[in-house]
């Protein structure tokens, strides 16, 4: 197990390129199983979660060729329909192989998926959607079976779950008829999966909205697809630059992915120059909380797209500790995400934990170097940002491997911005 050793206390500035989206490429790897033809993915980030999904794909019988930023995948035949526990537990998206395996083999058995421990993450929407499409399933044993093609349906999700939308979309594109998904997720990575499926011959309407209409086809073909850039990674580096008092330019971005993020940074008194293919956070800005009308304490709350992404809450809490004023963070989606603030308090942050979902942050506070442990990907990045703000003795962020699941070339990018960071 490795750890990061960080000497913080100075502004970080420079230019980096956005990586391909982790949350887009993982379901795309599962979707490659929907066809026996070659699927080529470009702009693929080098992440542990990507490796975990590729290991499952290879186990099922597919060939995998990997080069920097590129995957060539081909599942000429399916050799396994049961995925062992040790592969399932490595990543949350292991569950997304159910629909492609049903299409190719008619049955599948697997184990509960892994992933970050940030609270309960329901599978109910997956079960609901699969049942609606005619799948016979045993929820307790996680066994699924379907003879012949899936049947179309009109489905309404009780929550706009990203992974459930991706999963049922993969099932619906090969169902026999028209399927409508209501209250579907519309995040950029969901849209990008849809574009990849359309490139494989799928008939999908409504991408970018909460209603998806899918006319199933009997067969999909291969495709070449460039993975969209990761808006959460971009947001994390913007928060890092703002918190340390630096400036940053991030290239390979998509302008339309950052409108809500921009509104939240405005709440911290930080201006962004959002261009068609890059974002600039100018140097020399002092984070200052802007009160709501009437002098009320402002808040940052997460929600389904296009609201503020839940994965950005942790990095923004750290920015709050370095901002003049008081702000409330309201995490609505996961009941355990905010537990990571305890190490921040030990580092000197002025944070009041109101309940498992809400914390009140007052700043700016001088953070002290400490030894902390990364509990999940986004909290780990937040603790890295805090360590880069901290003065005094070096900070140690343990469990560094968890950040490798979600942030590509982390030390390289941080070093390019002037960070004093080493991995031990």
pLDDT of residue 121: 58
Q: Which domain holds residue 170?
A: 22-226
> Does the pLDDT of residue 219 top 70, yes or no?
yes
What's the average model confidence in pLDDT over 158-185? 97
Residues 234 and 348 placed together within one structural domain of the fold: yes
Token pair belonging to 57: 């794909």
> Does the pLDDT of residue 114 top 90, yes or no?
no
Contact 316, 329 (CB under 8 A): yes
Residues 164 and 239 placed together within one structural domain of the fold: no
Residues 39 and 168 placed together within one structural domain of the fold: yes
Residues 123 and 82 placed together within one structural domain of the fold: yes
Residues 190 and 256 placed together within one structural domain of the fold: no
Residues 27 and 9 placed together within one structural domain of the fold: no
What's the average model confidence in pLDDT over 65-85? 96
pLDDT of residue 85: 94
226, 252, 286: which is the final residue of a domain? 226
Return the CATH number at 203.
3.65.10.10
The band of 332, judged by pLDDT with boundaries at 50, 70 and 90, is confident
> Does the pLDDT of residue 189 top 80, yes or no?
yes
pLDDT of residue 236: 98
> Does the pLDDT of residue 93 top 60, yes or no?
yes
pLDDT of residue 52: 95
pLDDT of residue 358: 94
The band of 336, judged by pLDDT with boundaries at 50, 70 and 90, is confident
Contact 79, 60 (CB under 8 A): yes
What's the average model confidence in pLDDT over 225-246? 98
Contact 331, 310 (CB under 8 A): yes
Residues 274 and 374 placed together within one structural domain of the fold: yes
- Marked catalytic residue, from 36, 55, 116, 252: 116
- HEC profile for 322-367? CCEEEEEEECCCCCCHHHHHHHHHHCCCEEEEEECCEEEEEECCCC
Residues 61 and 104 placed together within one structural domain of the fold: yes
The band of 119, judged by pLDDT with boundaries at 50, 70 and 90, is very low
The band of 144, judged by pLDDT with boundaries at 50, 70 and 90, is very high
> Does the pLDDT of residue 117 top 50, yes or no?
no
Residues 317 and 396 placed together within one structural domain of the fold: yes
Residues 11 and 30 placed together within one structural domain of the fold: no
- CB burial of residue 147 (10 Å; 0-12, 13-18, 19+): exposed
The band of 316, judged by pLDDT with boundaries at 50, 70 and 90, is very high
Percent of the chain's residues with pLDDT above 90: 93
191, 226, 261: which is the final residue of a domain? 226
116 annotated active-site: yes
Contact 48, 26 (CB under 8 A): no
- HEC profile for 217-267? CCCCCCEEEECCECHHHHHHHHHHHHHHCCCEEEECCCHHHCHHHHHHHHH
What's the average model confidence in pLDDT over 53-65? 98
What's the average model confidence in pLDDT over 117-133? 81
Residues 152 and 179 placed together within one structural domain of the fold: yes
* Rounded Cα distance, 377 and 340, in Å: 11
* Rounded Cα distance, 195 and 198, in Å: 5
For residue range 363-387, list pLDDT tens digits in order.
999 999 999 998 899 999 999 999 9
Residues 189 and 256 placed together within one structural domain of the fold: no
For residue range 100-113, list pLDDT tens digits in order.
999 999 999 999 98
Give every CB contact of residue 140 below 8 A, 6+ residues apart in sequence. Answer: none
192, 209, 226: which is the final residue of a domain? 226
**In the beta sheet, which residues pair with residue 137?**
144
The band of 273, judged by pLDDT with boundaries at 50, 70 and 90, is very high
Give every CB contact of residue 352 below 8 A, 6+ residues apart in sequence. Answer: 359, 360
The predicted model scores a pTM of 0.95
**SS3 label, residue 178:** strand
**SS3 label, residue 98:** helix
* Rounded Cα distance, 100 and 196, in Å: 15
In the chain, the number of structural domains is: 2
What's the average model confidence in pLDDT over 277-294? 97
What's the average model confidence in pLDDT over 406-418? 96
> Does the pLDDT of residue 118 top 80, yes or no?
no
> Does the pLDDT of residue 62 top 60, yes or no?
yes
């Amino acid at each position: 197990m490795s750890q990061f050793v960080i000497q913080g206390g100075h502004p970080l500035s420079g230019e980096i390129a956005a990586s391909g989206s982790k949350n887009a490429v993982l379901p795309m790897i599962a979707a490659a199983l929907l066809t026996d033809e070659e699927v080529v993915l470009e702009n693929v980030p080098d992440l542990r979660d990507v490796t975990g999904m590729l290991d499952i794909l290879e186990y099922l019988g597919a060939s995998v060729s990997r080069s920097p930023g590129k995957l060539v995948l081909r599942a000429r035949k399916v050799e396994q329909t049961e995925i062992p526990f040790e592969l399932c537990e490595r990543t949350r998206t292991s569950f997304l192989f159910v629909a492609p395996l049903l299409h190719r083999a008619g049955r599948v058995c697997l184990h509960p998926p892994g992933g970050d421990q940030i609270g309960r993450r329901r599978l109910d929407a997956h079960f609901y959607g699969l049942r609606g499409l005619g799948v016979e399933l045993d929820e307790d044993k996680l066994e699924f079976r379907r003879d012949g093609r899936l049947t179309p349906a009109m489905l309404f999700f009780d929550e706009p779950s990203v992974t459930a939308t991706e999963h049922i979309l993969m099932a619906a594109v090969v169902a026999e008829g028209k399927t409508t998904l209501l209250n579907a997720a519309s995040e950029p990575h969901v849209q990008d999966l849809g574009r990849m499926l359309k490139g494989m011959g799928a008939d999908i309407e409504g991408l970018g909205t909460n209603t998806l209409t899918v006319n199933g086809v009997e067969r999909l073909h291969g495709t070449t697809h460039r993975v969209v850039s990761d808006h959460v990674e971009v947001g994390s580096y913007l928060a890092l630059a703002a918190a340390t008092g630096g400036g940053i330019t991030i290239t390979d971005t998509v302008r339309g992915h950052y409108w809500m993020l921009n509104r939240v940074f405005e709440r911290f008194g930080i201006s962004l120059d959002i261009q068609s293919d890059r974002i600039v956070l100018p140097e020399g800005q002092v984070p200052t909380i802007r009160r709501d009308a009437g002098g009320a304490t402002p808040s940052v709350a997460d929600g389904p797209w296009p609201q503020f992404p839940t994965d950005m809450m942790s990095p923004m809490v750290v920015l709050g500790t370095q901002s003049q004023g008081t702000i409330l963070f309201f995490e609505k989606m996961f009941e355990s995400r905010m537990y990571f603030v305890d190490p921040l308090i030990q580092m000197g942050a002025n944070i009041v934990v109101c309940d498992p979902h809400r914390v009140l942050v007052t700043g700016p506070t001088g953070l002290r170097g400490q030894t902390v442990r990364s509990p999940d990907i986004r909290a780990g990045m937040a603790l890295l940002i805090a360590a880069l703000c901290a003065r005094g003795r070096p900070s140690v962020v343990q469990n560094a491997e968890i950040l490798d699941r979600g942030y590509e070339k982390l030390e390289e990018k941080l070093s390019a911005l002037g960070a004093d960071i080493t991995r031990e």
